[in-house]
Amino acid sequence: MEFTIDLQKTKAVIFDVDGTLYTQSRMRKKMLFALLSHYARKPWRLKDLAILHHFRAEREKRAGYATGNLEQAQYEWCADKGDFTISRIRQVVDFWMFEFPNQYLHACMYPGVKAFIDTLKQHQVKIGIYSDYKAEEKLKAMQLEADLVVCSTDTDIDQLKPNPQGLLYLAEKFGLKPEECLFIGDRQELDGECAIRATMPYLIVDKKPFSQFDFYYKLTLPLSKLVV
């Protein structure tokens, strides 16, 4: 990747989270071990694994969902796939997707992420987060700070990528035009398409092994040479 951020044009950088700020391959290995260890001791709760599978799978099937009440609908989709109560789905999803994995996030962060964000802040570039999943606690676990964080299930968004509402909302809140922002994601079919629909410049992180990952270093180097 050869790309230099033009600070005369780019006033905000918006990040996706999962697969963009940290590597999902490392996280999945850690989570697989944790899940197998936990349910090996509690085989009567194995249905929880089906809940996690269906919750993710049904969301993936509905990319671009924009018919309202997404926060509740995502649990109803999962409930329709088996004998699961909404309360049980919420309990399992909250713990295994939004709480337990956070302890591993810092170790799974891509090299150079924090330095890049810190450099952007030094140049007065706003930092936004737009994820299809809740992100505030993930950012805390990675010791990262943003000016504004939104999620697809927020009432002001209520749409799944690649619908562009999240990006347009962030740009508006920053008082910027979409073309004055840069979106960084990891999936062309979702993040890239989302940016295209928002008429916002975007980058997709390089697909490299963790040990060779230099995407953020390459973005940071030219900025670090500029006078603040």
**Which of 127, 120, 130, 134 is closest to 167 using CA atoms?**
130
Residue extents of the structural domains in the chain:
12-23+109-224, 27-104
Query: CA angle, 183 as apex, 177 and 189 as ends, to 5°?
Result: 120
Instruction: Give residue-wise pLDDT tens across range 119-150.
Output: 999 999 999 999 999 999 999 999 999 999 99
* 2 confidence band (pLDDT: 50, 70, 90): low
Tokens 């939004």 sit on residue: 98
DSSP structure string for 127-185: EEEEESS--HHHHHHHT---SEEEETTSTTT---TTSSHHHHHHHHHHT--GGGEEEEE
pLDDT at 71: 95
Q: How far is CA 61 from CA 54, 115, 119, 161, 188, in A?
A: 10, 35, 37, 12, 16
Instruction: Give residue-wise pLDDT tens across range 41-66.
Output: 999 889 999 999 999 999 999 999 99
Indicate the length of the chain as a whole number: 228
Across 19-34, average pLDDT: 95
pLDDT of 225 over the 80 cut: no
Instruction: Give residue-wise pLDDT tens across range 149-185.
Output: 999 999 999 999 999 999 999 999 999 999 999 999 9
pLDDT at 226: 77
Instruction: Give residue-wise pLDDT tens across range 72-122.
Output: 999 999 999 988 999 999 999 999 999 999 999 999 999 999 999 999 999
Higher per-residue pLDDT: 103 or 228? 103
pLDDT at 83: 84
Angle between helices 47-61 and 24-41 (to 10 degrees): 150
Topology classification of domain 12-23+109-224:
Rossmann fold (3.40.50)
What pTM, to 2 d.p., does this model score?
0.94
pLDDT at 228: 66
